[in-house]
Amino acid sequence: MNDINAVSVIFQLIGGLGLFLLGMQLMSEGLQKSSGESLKKILEKLTTNRIIGTGVGAVVTAIIQSSSATTVMVVGFVNAGLMNLTQALSVILGANIGTTITGQIISFKISGIALPCIGLGAILYIFFRKPVLQYIGQIIMGFGLLFLGMDTMTDAFKPLAKSEEFKSIFVYFSHNPIVAVIAGALTTLIVQSSSATIGITIALATAGIIDFPAAAALVLGENIGTTITANLAALNASRPAKQAAFGHFLFNLIGVSYMLVFFVPFMNLVDFITDGDVAYAVKQGAETIYPNIGRHIANLHTMFNIINTLVFLPFLPLLAKLCEKIIKDKKEDIVEAKVVHLSDEMLSTPEIAVGLTQKEAGRMFLSSINLFEYAKKAVLENDKKSFSEGKALSNTIDIFNDEIHAFLTKLSSKSLSAKSLKTIHNISSAVEEISQIGDRSLKLIKTKNKMNDKNISFSDDANEELNNIIKLVDDFTNQVKNLYFSPDKEKALKDFAENEDKIDKLRKQYKKNHLKRLDEGNCSLPAGLAFVDLLNTLEKIADNIYALAQIIIDEN
């Protein structure tokens, strides 16, 4: 150890790990931006059967390059009530498979392209203004940094291969796989990335410091360590979210336990399916490297998670019940139904979070439509219950408004594609229009209540005119609701513009009619003021509906 510059080794190792993590982050951000629309569509599949859930988990994790991020996101979904426990566990199983893609990438010895990739990626990212080229540049640059980090870590470990004292620690791991599993779990807990600890393991093995059995045990431990992040994220979450995080820990722990029982046969299976002799060594100057062991480690990581998924997939409902029995309801826990299904955990996957926020804006719009229904009943049928029910719904819409805007503020600070940033602006504008629809619908109810308090009533002609304009606004609202499914958005918007003009003309005509009734003495002045107030409010609701239609057209 005296001949080894410990400070140089530590600095090189920290620098290599930093480059590796930065490369992963750049790749993840670039992949998320370039596949943002696909991620939003994948989100639609999250609440289907467990096999699709597993596939979704694998694909999303392969894109965002972190099973921990996927699991934390899923915990957020469960906490918000968007997924049940069995569905969440299926996605987490898939995430375990998806995270192995990083290990597979770095196990190929193509580090010679690291610097060209960094250079090409930087040129695309810095000098081109087309978003898609910038995203590709970010991915390529991250890819290069990933391999540069791996090379730097491997070079840092090479001098340690000459130290018998240092190597003896890892020789102990070869003979005591349980200790190695614990070491792998603790390392992943510290680094907070199983992909990074897999990279460290491959670097150690390539430098000849550890053999395949020690590396295999470390990899198994890393699969346990990666589950800790989600459990920490779920500490203050709902009971189902804690159960989802615990389920992840449970099936990785059980999987590692039975793999330790079949440890030697499992390594032999990996050795059989992987090309090249795991013990093959090549001299590089004064050092010896093992070029084939990285592929063995990556395949072992992938094989473990595939086997574990196949074992647990049929028993997910039973595992969910076990988690529910272990983590039970506490008597002092207060069950609180969340109005808005958004949580900070979802920010770990910003492109998916954009799609979720769109869904919440859609739910807010449905609430505003329901409030307008109460307003219709109040004005046309004099329904006395409409005010209390409408007021409660108005409060719900206010919660939607506040929470969606607060979430959008956090979301806009994340690394997002230009299209997603535009979508965030559109969501914010839509939420403002929806909020005004709610406020104005409540105003209709309040106006009718004041009329009742003062015993003000309309003539039959006035009631018929109100009925006509309310029906037009109602039809207009339903058209917007169905707009998303229209194959011809531009034609749909033209129809909306005509309807909006029609409502505006009717408002003006009905005001003239009412003035005429006032002149003829068929209507009182207070009734006339109330009538005009209702007409103006309905016309403004139509304006909000039209603005929403334009936002939908712009988004699509």
Q: Are residues 258 and 377 in the same domain?
A: no
Q: Would residue 438 count as lying in a domain? A: yes
Q: Are residues 363 and 221 in the same domain?
A: no
**Is 60 exceeded by the pLDDT of residue 2?**
no
Yes or no: say if 408 and 428 are a contact pair by the CB < 8 Å rule: yes
Question: The tokens 């009718």 sit on which residue?
Answer: 448
**Averaged over 381-387, what is the pLDDT?**
82
Q: Are residues 239 and 149 in the same domain?
A: yes
> What is the structure's pLDDT at 296?
95
Q: Would residue 483 count as lying in a domain? A: yes
Total domain count for the chain? Answer: 2
Residue 335 banded pLDDT, cuts 50, 70, 90: very low
Q: Would residue 333 count as lying in a domain? A: no
> What is the structure's pLDDT at 496?
63
Q: What percentage of the chain exceeds 70 in pLDDT? A: 84
**Averaged over 42-52, what is the pLDDT?**
67
Please give the radius of gyration of the chain, using alpha carbons only, rounded to the nearest integer.
31
**Is 70 exceeded by the pLDDT of residue 248?**
yes
Say how far apart CA 220 and CA 304 lie, in whole Å: 8
Q: Are residues 155 and 302 in the same domain?
A: yes
> What is the structure's pLDDT at 80?
66
C-beta atoms surrounding 388 within 10 Å: 11
- The larger pLDDT score, comparing residue 387 to residue 158, is at 387
Yes or no: say if 123 and 342 are a contact pair by the CB < 8 Å rule: no
CA distances from 90 to 290, 308, 310 (A): 37, 12, 11
Q: What percentage of the chain exceeds 90 in pLDDT? A: 26
**Is 80 exceeded by the pLDDT of residue 525?**
no
> What is the structure's pLDDT at 515?
61
Residue 301 banded pLDDT, cuts 50, 70, 90: very high
- The larger pLDDT score, comparing residue 314 to residue 160, is at 314
Q: Are residues 114 and 260 in the same domain?
A: yes
* Structural domain containing residue 548: 350-555
Q: Would residue 231 count as lying in a domain? A: yes
Residue 334 banded pLDDT, cuts 50, 70, 90: very low
- The larger pLDDT score, comparing residue 129 to residue 77, is at 129
**Averaged over 317-339, what is the pLDDT?**
72
Q: Are residues 256 and 369 in the same domain?
A: no
**Averaged over 104-121, what is the pLDDT?**
85
Say how far apart CA 387 and CA 385 lie, in whole Å: 6
Residue 47 banded pLDDT, cuts 50, 70, 90: low
**Averaged over 50-75, what is the pLDDT?**
80
pLDDT digits (tens, 9 = 90+) for 102-111: 888 888 877 7
> What is the structure's pLDDT at 406?
94
Q: Would residue 338 count as lying in a domain? A: no
**Is 50 exceeded by the pLDDT of residue 1?**
no
Q: Would residue 343 count as lying in a domain? A: no
Q: Which of 311, 326, 341 is the last residue of a domain?
A: 326
**Averaged over 50-71, what is the pLDDT?**
81
Q: Are residues 191 and 287 in the same domain?
A: yes
Q: Are residues 491 and 358 in the same domain?
A: yes
Q: What is the dihedral of CA 308, 311, 314, 319, to 10 degrees?
A: -70
Q: What are phi and psi of 278, to 5 degrees?
A: -65, -25
Q: Are residues 284 and 416 in the same domain?
A: no
> What is the structure's pLDDT at 17?
87
Lookup: tokens for 518: 């006032």
Say how far apart CA 412 and CA 423 lie, in whole Å: 10
Please, what is the average pLDDT of the chain? 83
Q: Would residue 334 count as lying in a domain? A: no
Sign of the Cα torsion 305, 310, 313, 318 reads negative
Q: Are residues 379 and 499 in the same domain?
A: yes
Residue 544 CB-half CA count within 13 A: 25
Domain of 439, CATH number, reads 1.20.58.220
Yes or no: say if 287 and 161 are a contact pair by the CB < 8 Å rule: yes
pTM of the model: 0.73
Residue 489 banded pLDDT, cuts 50, 70, 90: low
Residue 371 banded pLDDT, cuts 50, 70, 90: very high
> What is the structure's pLDDT at 254?
93
Say how far apart CA 447 and CA 31 lie, in whole Å: 53
- The larger pLDDT score, comparing residue 161 to residue 280, is at 280
> What is the structure's pLDDT at 302?
94
Q: Are residues 271 and 363 in the same domain?
A: no
**Which of 15-29, 52-66, 175-189, 255-269 is the least confident region?**
52-66
Q: Are residues 290 and 204 in the same domain?
A: yes
**Which of 145-149, 429-433, 464-468 is the least confident region?**
464-468
Q: Would residue 269 count as lying in a domain? A: yes
Among 126-140, 427-441, 472-486, the range of highest mean pLDDT:
427-441
**Is 80 exceeded by the pLDDT of residue 467?**
yes
**Averaged over 324-345, what is the pLDDT?**
68
**Is 70 exceeded by the pLDDT of residue 490?**
no
Residue 209 banded pLDDT, cuts 50, 70, 90: confident
**Is 60 exceeded by the pLDDT of residue 117?**
yes
Residue 332 banded pLDDT, cuts 50, 70, 90: very low
Yes or no: say if 67 and 107 are a contact pair by the CB < 8 Å rule: no
Yes or no: say if 206 and 289 are a contact pair by the CB < 8 Å rule: yes
* 3-class state of residue 46 by DSSP: coil
